[in-house]
Structure 1
Amino acid sequence: APVCSIDLFPTILAATGTPQPADRPIDGISLLDHLKSGGDSALAERDLFWHFPHYRHAPGPYSIIRRGDWKLIKFWEGITELYHLGDDLGETHNLAETMPEKVDELETALLARLKADGAKLPRPNPDFKAEN
């Protein structure tokens, strides 16, 4: 299972014996048992999410879900990409057109998480004029 920077906070809390705050959700998981075991203990499978709703980076706003070996990238103003990282770590073969059911499954989970988190979704600026 992948490890993410969101796991640092709960790991530090566990290492110091500090309880997690009860007044807010913590997305990460503690890696303390995994580290103490030398990497022999299994990590829980979980979905990972990234959300970039702004227009600062090309190719515009996008959101990502990673579930197991599957990674879906939803470009809010363009295509959706689907990769099986177990077979294609370099993300060179977009499977979105050939696997619409997997796209639907992952996009549904992604949108549900964004809604549950109250995430701001990108909105085009009708007054924006691209400069050539």
Structure 2
Amino acid sequence: MLSVINAGAVEMKGWQVHVGLQYNELLVSADGAIVVGESGLPVSIGKNGMVFAGYPMTDLKIAIKITGDYTQIQVQITIKGTMFGLKSGTPMPKNLNLLNDGYKCPAAKRQGYFSTESMWRLID
């Protein structure tokens, strides 16, 4: 799961996230976003990663205007796929980058223990 939360003071129009990968992942589905430059799924991602864009929620509002309604300031992408080359451990992205101007992303980190899935978060 990838979560994008707009905790900033400016509405995030047309959000996009690059997810750099480290194995030869095969993406089967991504609920809550589309993969930019791909016409359908499944798709082989490889080690170059992929760019997710908002769909159906393309813009993320700011919290002060919507009084804490997370459905308008946050999107969660449920990612399903497989990978090849992982010897052991839990897969993590090599890097995450929010492609919108004016935002930086912290390093990816594991939240809790997941045996077969990872959670990635991008927070302004």
Indicate the TM-score class for this superposition, using the shorter chain for normalisation. under 0.3
| Relative contact order higher in (CA < 8 Å, ≥ 6 apart) | 2
Which has more helix, going by share of residues? 1
The higher radius of gyration belongs to: 1
